[in-house]
Chain A
Amino acid sequence: MSTKGPQVTVTVQRGGPEGPGRKQQFQVPAYGSQTVLDVVSWIQQNADPTLTYRFACRVGMCGSCAMMVNGVPRWTCRTHVSKVLQDGAMELAPLRSLPVIKDLAADMDPFFDKWVSAEALHHPTASRDDPIAPIDPDAPERVTASAGIECINCAVCYAACDTVANNPDYLGPAALQRAWTLYNDSRDGAHGAILDAVTGTGGCQSCHSMGSCTAYCPNGLDPLSAIAGLKRAATRRFFGKGKG
């Protein structure tokens, strides 16, 4: 490949589940409006076809392509190289706090297992034979729920969270935020089970309110406030008040 024109120096963490392997450096041609995912794809297509990474939609909807860019978790398809370069270089690594499948592809299983552990799944109150439940979009609980439903499951918050990094039991911001949206959803039929799940080992009480989840969420969501909401709801229940 041509090495003329402006170049970006990219260091990529290679390796598999046995632990981080060597770091490999690539010189990648720089383009205007180039995203970090463009850089990774260029390496895979032009320099080293064995480089493993994950992506799907390329437009910030699917949550597949998150990785550590210069030590910070980012959705790489919507991150411009020009915004993250440090002295003309950047370093890429798989998402923090998750096992590695290979190179830049993290194993998302623990992340999604914790969604289930947090009861962050819908508990139906009606069947398909029932009439569609009317939902008032302006009802306070619905507004609270709606604030958190645009999560794309990218695990950027999970990788950003120092509590996740230090406490393997902690359910993490995404699962807890999902649980909070369902707790505020009038169609969900197991608010008590949700509170039981999010106050178990590694539940909402493990959060230290450091706020990295909210600071790094690429969709501008606020898991920190969602977790604070769960803490308040669980405290109300502790004193015999509130629902659930």
Chain B
Amino acid sequence: MSEFHLYMAQRLSALVMAPFVLVHIGVMIYAIQGGLSAAEILGRTQGSVFWFLFYGMFVVAVSIHAAIGLRTILSEWAGLRGSALNITALAIGAILFAMGAQAVYAVTATGAA
């Protein structure tokens, strides 16, 4: 994958993330207004295909976006080059995806209502 393809992947993942961020923050603020408990929130998200897809796509976009951004920072600030740079960036993307996927699974897929 060329540097320009990484650039496009980062821009497109940002495009995907932008509405997700707004909805995520908006719903968070809305959800705590009435003093919702964790159990009540989980009751609405678990088993929900909508929230699974919403946060599932969010996690994929974040993993791509952050890994490419950190790849650039590691290259320019830490001087990483070549395969050391690419393997580190891939590992960052994989770790972010694994952590995010675990959270999405816990919040939306387990204990279906």
Contact = CB atoms under 8 A, between A and B. Distances in A.
24 contacts: A163-B76, A166-B76, A166-B77, A167-B75, A167-B76, A199-B2, A199-B3, A199-B4, A200-B2, A200-B4, A201-B2, A201-B3, A202-B3, A203-B3, A203-B4, A205-B3, A205-B4, A205-B6, A205-B7, A206-B3, A206-B72, A235-B8, A238-B4, A238-B8
Interface residues of B, number: 11
Interface residues of A, number: 13
B83 to A, nearest CB: 15
Given A200-B3, A205-B7, 16 more contacts: A163-B76, A167-B75, A199-B2, A199-B3, A200-B2, A200-B4, A201-B2, A201-B3, A202-B3, A205-B3, A205-B4, A205-B6, A234-B4, A235-B11, A238-B4, A238-B8
The 6 closest A-B pairs by CB, nearest first: A205-B7, A166-B76, A199-B4, A205-B4, A167-B76, A201-B3
Contacts of A199: 2-4
Choose among B2, B4, B6, B72 the residue with the greatest number of A CB atoms under 10 Å from its CB.
B4
Contacts of A167: 75-76
Contacts of B11: 235
Nearest to B11: A235
Contacts of A238: 4, 8
Contacts, number: 27
Interface of B: 2-4, 6-8, 11, 72, 75-77
A235 B72 CA distance: 19
Interface of A: 163, 166-167, 199-203, 205-206, 234-235, 238
A66 to B, nearest CB: 24
Contacts of A166: 76-77
Contacts of B6: 205
A210 B77 CA distance: 16
Nearest to B4: A199
Contacts of A202: 3
B71 to A, nearest CB: 12
B45 to A, nearest CB: 35
Contacts of B4: 199-200, 203, 205, 234, 238
A199 B1 CA distance: 12
A166 B78 CA distance: 9
A138 B113 CA distance: 67
Nearest to A235: B8
A162 to B, nearest CB: 9
Nearest to B10: A205
A101 B6 CA distance: 37
B7 to A, nearest CB: 4
A85 to B, nearest CB: 33
B24 to A, nearest CB: 26
Contacts of B76: 163, 166-167
Contacts of B72: 206
Contacts of A201: 2-3
